[in-house]
Structure 1
Amino acid sequence: MNWKHTKTLFIFVFILVNISLIIIYIDKVNKSHINDSADENAVNFKQEKIEIPDNLPTVKNIKMQLLTARSNDFSSYAKSRSHVTSEDSGQKIKGDINNPIDVSNDQYTDLKSYVKDSVYKGKNYEMSKIDDDHVTFEQTYNNFPIMNNSKAKLEFNINDDGKASSYRQTAMKTIAPSEGANNDKKQVNTARSAIEALYYNRYLKRNDEVTNIRLGYYTVVKEPNVQVLEANWEVKVKHANEFKTYYVEAISDSPKIIEE
């Protein structure tokens, strides 16, 4: 055996192992510094006496971009169905339900089935609001709601007997990414960062409570037939005895905030 070559080989392997250990150590230190920096910049909501939900929505690998959409014309659809009539120059329909649907159960199972099976593109709507007189659904795009938009809404009227006997519907069509050189998909900011943006801009103050937060599309340009939809966080806040809704841009480094 050539001990000289063996010795050289051992020294070479030893150097490689040490280099690997140094690289691993430096990587851990850098990650530690990044985490420490993030923790230092984070708002301590508990200390500020601001309540936020325990389980915030995750946005891992979620990317979004500006969309353009047009109002749907229901004129032809209404003419081919006896229980449906068009309104607002065809941009809205009113539908009568022959066998009123009982919505007294907590899960609204029958109403959801009716929407899925009997309403125009009902699979693209999700329930968003329930009160004594109405149950509201919102149109979705890629499973995200088009929020607070009268042009993408399905609303059922609830009678005194707890049954839904009619509905009114609007819809958007040809929803697609807006044209433009700067409209690439971008990673969505976290839900916590949206809440922190409200705090830093003084919309969220001591003793306030964030009651709900969800991700979707909000209309930033409204024309009679065309709208531009932007990824936003919808944040509902309780200020003492007053409730407010805020929309926070979800893919901007300096998010704009709209108060409804």
Structure 2
Amino acid sequence: MDWNRTKSIFIFVFLILNIFLYSLYVNRYNEAKDIEVPGERTIEARLKDDNITYGTLPNNIESASYMTAQVHKFTPAEFSNSNQQVKFKDDNNTKARVIFMRPVKLRNVSDDASFTDFALANIIEGASYALWKVDREERVAIFFQKTNNRMFYYSGSLKIKWNANNEVTMYEQTMIDNIEEMEQQETVIPPLQIIQTLYAKGPLKPDSRITQMKLGYSTLVKLTRTQVLVPTWEVQVKLSDGTKEEYFVNAVEGKVIEIQEDKQESEEEDWGVE
């Protein structure tokens, strides 16, 4: 390992973080003053007026640290199963698409545990991924890597596709490794203040219900191979028509994060296996 080069990268990362943290402090101070303005109705009252409801919110998370990680570069040798045909989707071999020559039967597509069982048995470092969402209409299951039960949203992902016979035909995988937690702990914005942010900025619609809030991580800074990951609130919402949406909010700064899911898997030439 080139220690001098590695040391320079981390010094650069920490410098970027210091600049971010100072700006976050200023922004959070200014935003905090705007949450409750004398003479205005409380956030709880305004949410009630718009019939926006929520259950018990997490109340035991006061701090969390930033993390750093390295983007994993796959090698063909990692996919030694003769039933798997691998194709790398980028020049750096950081995104692998694997097709099963003989599709693998799922135990029970109605049971989320069957997708986890498949990942444990067939995926590199499958135990490091946690199931996030299952779209049974599109026949796609999405996993994210996790640490201490906190997901890395879209940083290390696994997308499994199955056919009409309930057989897995292919999957896409990205991975991060060398995950390290920074020493400094940052104050986490409370859930109710996150709801206030979503309400004030518009994404939170009337007649909706917040079904779950979880703390995870999303990418703040992405260098060539190094990523800096920031604590992130995931807010799951059920709309009045029954559809579901997810919002992501920087848990340190309070800004809504626009995480764009990779849409390549929806292309017929790539995922169109019936």
Tell me whether the two structures share a fold, i.e. TM-score over 0.5: yes
Amino acid at match of 1:48: D
1:1-260, aligned counterparts within 5 Å?
43-44=44-45, 47-56=48-57, 58-60=58-60, 63-75=63-75, 77-78=77-78, 80-82=80-82, 83=84, 85-87=86-88, 88=90, 89-97=92-100, 98=102, 100-102=104-106, 104-131=108-135, 132=137, 133-147=139-153, 149=154, 151-178=155-182, 184-204=184-204, 206-237=206-237, 245-252=246-253, 255-260=254-259
Q: Which runs of 5+ in 2 are unaligned?
A: 1-40, 260-274
| Other structure's SS at 2:54 match | coil
Match of 1:33 in 2: none
Moved more, 58-67 or 126-135: 58-67
Number of equivalenced pairs: 212
Letter in 2 for 1:247: F
Q: Give the Å deviation of 1:217.
A: 0.4
Match of 2:24 in 1: none
In the TM superposition, what is the alpha-carbon distance from 1:232 to its structure 2 partner?
1.0
Query: RMSD of the TM alignment (CA)?
Result: 3.0
Tell me the distance in 2 between the aligned counterparts of 1:210 and 1:60: 18
Task: Output the CA distance in 1 between the equivalents of 2:210 and 2:175.
Answer: 30
Q: Distance in 1 between matches of 2:126 and 2:244?
A: 30
Query: What is the Cα deviation at residue 122 of structure 1?
Result: 1.0
Code of the aligned partner of 1:135: A
Instruction: Name 1:16's counterpart in structure 2.
Output: none
Residues 166 and 188 of structure 1, relative CA distance in 2, 3 Å threshold:
same
C-alpha distance in structure 1 between counterparts of 2:76 and 2:165, whole Å: 33
Identify if the C-alpha distance between structure 1 residues 62 and 198 changes in structure 2 by more than 3 Å, giving closer, same or farther: same
Give the 3 Å change call, closer, same or farther, for CA 41–173 of structure 1 in structure 2. same
Cα–Cα, structure 1 residues 246 and 111, in superposed 2: closer, same or farther, change >3 Å? closer
Question: TM-score, normalising length from structure 2?
Answer: 0.65
| TM-score (norm: length of structure 1) | 0.68
Separation of aligned partners in 2, 1:174 and 1:119? 19
- Identity over the aligned pairs, expressed in percent? 23
Change (3 A) 1:240 1:189: same
One-letter identity of the residue aligned with 1:256: K
Code of the residue aligned with 1:69 in structure 2: it is A
